[in-house]
Amino acid sequence: MKKEIYPKKKFGGKISVPGDKSIAHRAALFSLLARDKIIIKNFPNNQDCQSSLKAVETLGVTIEESADKIILTPPDKLNVDDETIIDCGNSGTTARLLAGIIAGSDAKVILAGDESLSRRPMKRIIDPLTAMGAEIYAEDNHLPLKIIGKKLLPFEYRMPIASAQVKSALLLAGLASSTSVTIQEEVITRDHTERMINEIGSGITVDEIKPLPIVDDIDPRKKKMKMPADFKKEIKLSAQAKIIGGEIDIPGDISTAAFFMAIAAISKQKITIENMGLNPTRTAFINYLKAIGCTVEITDKQTISGEPRGTVSITGGKLKSKKIVKDNTVALIDEIPVIAVMSAFAEGTTIIRDAGELRIKESDRLTAVTENLERMGVKCGLLEDGLVIEGGKDLNGADFKSYGDHRIAMAFSVAALFLVGPSTIDDVSVVDISCPNFYVLMDKITK
């Protein structure tokens, strides 16, 4: 579905965004492991999270929905015929986390997905799960995956790539198989799985490795700080870990909110987002906004269901460029498309590196961003693992392509608000993957 977007002159207001996708996926999938009901509030109505709901229902979970919550009642055991095909749609989170659960269960199923998901890499979960003793069959390490669940072996794993999905798949495999799992992270990733196990279950410990003072080799009178290990976090799941059940209240999705915060940043106006998730593994975008010239105010801070949240007001300013590399790139990976858009309106040249992961998302996001920026008149260099964006010029409306990717469509819908003349997005139906009411929310803060 094509959409025409006209530039706006007035910006501001207050909105709430849908519930956090990452937390919603986990809340739904945990129902397969729970001993009692899981009650979920603020579950988002997007296609990706619906894929997780449909998957658990196929595996025997009973779902009751009302206006303000859903109740998931777990089965006594995974109740599904051998080699039942479970459609994960476009959701990589559904496929990877569910693979862990099935691998450690006594079920035999096939995980499939749409054309886009079937191109995305699954070797990153197949290899460690297989090392745990899982039986997984896949052609060229892509979906569909045939998984024959079984009792798994105790497992210790140093994460070779920063991926909360891989980490979560292994922890869920351990829970499903009552097997101990130890994971070490060199780069800290989203910790929603660990928090949820603590909130509605037990048997997990998290140790953040801090630098310690040691005597300086050169000058014994001085001390220097040194990490006692070559990783930053160690997560241990015991063989006795379990999911009991309970209530999960999901905060607003900060990755969705990023698009509206970007509107505030570019417009130099104030936009407020209520009940927004403030998990410290997810707030790099807020720090980035501060660094490029925005003012951020956070009020009503509280923690519910183990997840911090609050009301966040962003007031834009004169934007400046800032280099994004290494750990910062990992922390900002979902927000890179809209950061690229903001960079087009910032002074100076923005360099983004270590973002090769974006080439294997719903689209090749590095190429998609480059081509769309060039359509609106931005000089953008495409690197193997990043972008170089020259900002600060008046830019013209353009005919943008979504490339079948919700974050590309939303990012360039934001750009269209500030261009000279109308723009079009060739297919906005893809925003339903993460935020079906995206344009309704955008209309609330623009005139």
Residues with catalytic roles: 334
Angstrom distance (rounded) from CA 149 to CA 109: 8
Sign of the C-alpha dihedral computed for residues 335, 433, 377 and 387 taken in this order: positive
Q: Burial level of 67, CB count in 10 A (0-12/13-18/19+)?
A: exposed
Q: Which of 312, 293, 291, 290 is nearest to 301 (CA)?
A: 312
Question: Number of C-alpha atoms within 13 angstroms, CB side, residue 5?
Answer: 33
Beta carbons within 8 Å of 380's beta carbon, 6+ residues apart: 340, 369, 370, 373, 374, 387, 388, 389, 390
Q: Three-state SS string across 61-115, please?
A: CEEEECCCEEEEECCCCCCCCCCEEEECCCCHHHHHHHHHHHHCCCCEEEEECCC
Angstrom distance (rounded) from CA 126 to CA 140: 11
Angstrom distance (rounded) from CA 268 to CA 293: 10
Alpha helices by DSSP H, listed for 107-179, are 123-131, 164-177
The β-bridge relationship of strands 201-208 and 423-425 is: unpaired
Is residue 225 within 8 Å of residue 213, measured between CB atoms? yes
Beta-bridge partner residues of 5: 423
